[in-house]
Structures are given as C-alpha cells and as structure tokens.
Amino acid sequence: MRIDRYIAVSRVVDLESTDFESAIAELLEVCDFSKEKGLSKKRLLNDLLDREKQMTTYLGNGVCLPHTRVSMKRPYMIAVGRCPGGLDYDGQAEYKNIRYVFLLLAAKNARSYLYSLASLARIFQDKSHMERLNAAHKLSDFRKEVKLVFGGEGDKPRRRHNRFNNLILREAAKIAKGANCSTVLVFGDTFGGGVEFGSKFKGFKTVLIAHGTSDAATEREEIDAVLPIRSFSNERFSQLRSAVLIGLTRGVFKSNDRLCCVGGLRQSNQFDSITVVDIEREFQTVFATKNDMLPASVKPEVIERVLGIATELAVEGREGHPVGCLFTLGNSDKISEYSKPLILNPFYGYKDEDRNILNPFMDETVKELSSIDGAFIIRGDGVLVSAGSLLYPPNYNHELPGGLGSRHAAAAAITQAVDCLSIVVSGSTGQVTLFRKGKMLPLIEKALVRNA
C-alpha cells in the first residue's frame, strides 16, 4: 500500500501545542472534512484520546502514531506535526520524547488499515529514515523529506557504489548465471541510503531484502519483489534463512529455485559476500513449497510478524534477561481442543483489530506476556486468541535433538496433530525454531544469538 499518497504537504505542520491533547486538536484542524458528512472533529478528538488512555500510541524513536477509524469517503488521511520540545500528557514521561505526531485516520471500510499502520511503523523503526527527518530544519525541507521517505526515495542510494561493490555485483551476476540461479537476492540494509544495481541482474528475478523499506520500493523497475523483513539476528545465515522462509510463504520463491545472495554488514555500505542457496537442499522437503509451509488459514505477513517478534525476543531478551516463548499460528479452534488456560486470557474482550499481531502496538504487549508460562495461540489472520495456554497435543513421540525440553516437544507435537505452525524461542539458548508437521527448522542458531 502506497501510504505516501495520503500525506498532503498542507497537512505537515509545526505544532504550536505543548500538550498531547492540543497537538491532536491542532492536527485535526488541518484535516479538511468539508466533503464528509456528519463528521465531528470534537468526537474524533475524544475517540483518539480514549484510545490513548487504553494504550499509548508512542512507538519509540520519537514518533507517536495516534490512529482511529472514521466514517469518511476517502480511505485514509494522514496529518503530521513536529514538536521538538516533546509533549505533556497525564504526567507520562515518554510523551516528552515525542518529536513527531503522525495522525492516521482510516475509513471504516479501509481493509488494509493494519497494513498501513504496520508500514508506517516499519519506516519509523529505521534509524536512517529518522535521521533524514531530523536533519530537515526548515518546515519546507521537512515536508519534502516526509514525501521522499514515505514515497520510497529514501530507499534510493545517495552515493554511488565504490569499485569493490561494483565488482561484487558484477561477479554475483556471473555466479548467478554459472550456477543456474533463477533469482538474485540482495540485502538492501547493507546500505544506509538504499541500494542500486541498475541492469546488472537483467534476466534474473531480483529480490530486495530490506528492513525499513517503504512499499513504494516495489515500484522500482529493476526490483521484482521486496521482502520487508523487520528484524534480524546479526548472523548472516540466520538472516538468509528467515528471508528465504518469508519468500517461500509469500510465493516469491519456489522450492526448486536456486538463489544467488549478495550481502554485507548492515549499514556498512559495503557488499562482502556472495552465497548460492539451493532451496530444496537448504530446507527439508516439508518446508520447501508454499502449500506445505503455510497452513491454509495462515497469512504470510502473520508469520513474518511473529518471526520478527521472536527474533527480537531471542536477541534482546526482556529487561536484560533471556526469555523463551511458544507461538502457535493457524487453526486456533482446533488447537483450543488441545489446550487449557493457565491464566485468565489477557486478550479476552478486545476488538479483533486491537489484538491483531499485525497491529504494531501489539509488539510490547506480546513481549511483556512472553515471560509467562504457556503458549500464545494466534489465528491465521493474526488475531491473538490467548496467551498462557498449556498445550497437550496427543502424540509426544518426537525425535528432537538433546537439550530440547517440553516447550519444543509441545510445539512439534501440536503441528503434527493440527494443521498449524509453531515458532519457539528457547529461553535457555535463544535459538528460534519453526515447527511444521512435526518437523523442525532452526531459524536462528543457538549461541550465535546470545553472542550477537
């Protein structure tokens, strides 16, 4: 979804308000609802403040993203305010860190609402994008930068490649041809300002893996697909595995594809490696096709999201301590037959949209709940059904490597009993493992994570 199309320059302003409530009122003031019938700005303000009371919309990195649904004809409207001195709200310290308020209004029938929230959040999580916004002092420059960053211009390189990068790209094209690869996979995060490879990979499917890429990047001619992976372990092969898994679930790759992957350290501006991956050999057959990998009810973006949260939990832990957790994805009704609650369900009673794992504001809640015993049960469309559930699938006869205990055994067994996926973060090693049909696929290897 091209979110930048809904950002009008006239709605990008410098806020005069110093408190959150007045800041939102000021942003609503620049929104023109003259063509919308019966829309009351006062009611909208109250809706937005009610939501804020339930859960903060502060996303970190100085960005606040208040959002709500509105009865309006246009699908989205976005207003942006700068407030370099932060905002006061209810004495809460974190609001003092707010530098930008992005107000997102979505029509009641806008079906991609959660994706829009997620794509905005993805841009804000990328420090290089935030640096660009921070560097624009004059309002006119800031307006330009906002349009550029959200319009995908932020993904274009600001400096030309050096000779070594060009050499690697040329060699990658040769290797891809010689090794009969169908696809070239480029780690775009190697470059702070985006990556350019012109026509070097003509004749191959070209896929960009990038962390904070705007959806507009997909419209670049030389790129066939973008895998917007939100977080990685620092270990190269783990990154690659996660990327290939996501490409498979999205149908970007096929099981018989051979990939030529070009990578480098994140933000190093230097490519340094070329790896050829034979999907069938790297992934066991059970994981190698989209249909095998993906239970019918599970959306690829839900796996991506859970994988992102699992990776962050594995790498960062929680408040300095390692945490382990177990997520099941898909067929939640059937899974509920093999589970029982260990605690009162924390998601009970919330609207589906507010407890959907695709909603970026769910991240903190899920991470906070990861330290309790039991599993998260997630519907295929991303709705969090429960946390703290004990799984008791019928058959525990799995051959798992030594050291893996009851959490991993339950994760393996549930995927054999029910058409679902499970993802485990090991509390003791930090390994992230995906289970499907009783088989396991380590995505982030142990020890490497804890050293990262």
Q: Return residues touching ligand ATP (CB under 6 A).
A: 324, 326, 373-375, 390-391, 404-408, 410, 426-429
Smallest gap, in angstroms, from Cβ of residue 369 to ligand ATP?
12
Beta bridge partners of 424: 326, 433
- Which residue, judged by CB position, is nearest to ligand ATP in the bound state? 405
Beta bridge partners of 106: 69, 76
How far is Cα 88 from Cα 98, in angstroms, rounded to an integer?
9
Of 128 and 426, which has the nearer Cβ to ligand ATP?
Answer: 426
Smallest gap, in angstroms, from Cβ of residue 41 to ligand ATP?
47
For 107-153, give the DSSP string.
Answer: ETT-TTHHHHHHHHHHHHH-HHHHHHHHH--SHHHHHHHHHHHHTTG
Of 24 and 410, which has the nearer Cβ to ligand ATP?
Answer: 410
Smallest gap, in angstroms, from Cβ of residue 95 to ligand ATP?
35
Smallest gap, in angstroms, from Cβ of residue 395 to ligand ATP?
13
Smallest gap, in angstroms, from Cβ of residue 443 to ligand ATP?
14
Of 220 and 446, which has the nearer Cβ to ligand ATP?
Answer: 446
Of 249 and 426, which has the nearer Cβ to ligand ATP?
Answer: 426
How far is Cα 234 from Cα 77, in angstroms, rounded to an integer?
37
Smallest gap, in angstroms, from Cβ of residue 378 to ligand ATP?
14
Of 154 and 330, which has the nearer Cβ to ligand ATP?
Answer: 330
For 76-104, give the DSSP string.
Answer: EEEEEEE-TT--B-TT-GGGGG--EEEEE
How far is Cα 169 from Cα 157, in angstroms, rounded to an integer?
15
Nearest to 383 by CA among 340, 410, 412, 353: 353
CB 299 within 8 A of CB 380: yes
Of 289 and 426, which has the nearer Cβ to ligand ATP?
Answer: 426
What is residue 225's three-state secondary structure? strand
Of 87 and 412, which has the nearer Cβ to ligand ATP?
Answer: 412
Smallest gap, in angstroms, from Cβ of residue 361 to ligand ATP?
25
Tokens representing 364 are 């903190």
Cα separations (Å) of 416 from 109, 164, 282, 410, 424? 38, 48, 22, 10, 15
